[in-house]
């Protein structure tokens, strides 16, 4: 029995609808698996307690290898080096097992731009204390997914309550901003604000120089 034109059109419409739903479901699952769901319905905070904030969109992409896309279900953060108990955390471990802090901090780039952001994260000294860091150590070295690295004095990190952030302006870090973790290196130039952190090493190697520092940038990096 021949099909009518209307039934053929309806069948095609249903097929397209099912295919579209499958594609959308696959995309949402991918975002959930990689932790990149913040773009779905999130709206960033632009005013916090009366203080105007910059935007996620105000940043310039200047990483050494482009944005890194890290799978939240398999990624790990390691705290190693001069510690009594080396720690390996999942993304969920870091967020669920540690106190959250918020702070407005401006990042200043050597290129001349700056952005004021509300950062949310955990204190580095809490992670270091949990690992039993050597109080005689002098330096903390950070390593990133893309091969980038930098270092900061241990005393600076502890005395200034420096944190690694997983949110900015109330939104989970987008991939180009360092998901899952970015260092909030307050009062330091932007090249110290390492993104996509995978390893934190407690060290006594004061001669260590990170990616840009080994290329002539100041290891101190104080702003201004």
- The 3-state DSSP class for residue 40 equals helix
pLDDT of residue 7: 56
For each successive 10 residues of the chain (224 residues), what is the average pLDDT?
55 50 40 42 85 96 96 95 98 97 98 98 98 96 98 98 98 96 98 98 98 98 95
Distance CA 91, CA 100 (A): 14
Distance CA 73, CA 20 (A): 26
pLDDT of residue 11: 52
Say how many C-beta atoms besides its own lie within 10 A of residue 214's C-beta. 12
With a CB cutoff of 8 Å and minimum separation 6, the contacts of 66 are 146
Two structure tokens written together for 173: 């870090």
Angle at 26 between CA 22 and CA 31, to 5 degrees: 150
Cβ(35)–Cβ(172) under 8 Å? yes
pLDDT of residue 62: 93
Looking at residue 162, what DSSP letter applies? -
The class level of CATH for 38-215 reads alpha beta
């Amino acid at each position: 029995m021949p099909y009518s034109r209307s039934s053929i059109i309806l069948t095609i419409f249903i097929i397209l609808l099912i295919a579209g739903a499958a594609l959308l479901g696959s995309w949402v699952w991918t975002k959930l698996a990689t932790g990149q769901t913040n773009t779905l319905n999130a709206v960033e905070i632009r005013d916090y307690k009366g203080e105007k904030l910059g935007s996620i969109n105000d940043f310039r992409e200047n990483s050494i290898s482009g944005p890194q896309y890290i799978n939240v279900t398999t990624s790990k953060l390691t705290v190693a080096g001069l510690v009594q108990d080396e720690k390996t955390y999942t993304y969920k471990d870091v967020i669920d097992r540690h106190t959250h802090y918020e702070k407005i901090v401006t990042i200043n780039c050597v290129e001349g731009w700056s952005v004021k952001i509300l950062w949310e994260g955990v204190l580095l000294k809490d992670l270091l204390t949990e690992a039993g860091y050597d109080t005689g150590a002098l330096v903390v070295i950070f390593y990133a997914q893309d091969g980038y690295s930098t270092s900061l004095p241990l005393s600076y990190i502890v005395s200034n309550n420096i944190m690694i952030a997983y949110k900015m302006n109330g939104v989970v870090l987008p991939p180009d901003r360092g998901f899952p973790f970015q260092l909030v290196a307050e009062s330091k130039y932007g090249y110290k604000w390492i993104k996509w952190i995978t390893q934190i090493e407690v060290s006594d190697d004061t001669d260590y120089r990170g990616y840009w520092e080994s290329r002539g940038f100041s290891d101190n990096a104080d702003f201004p």
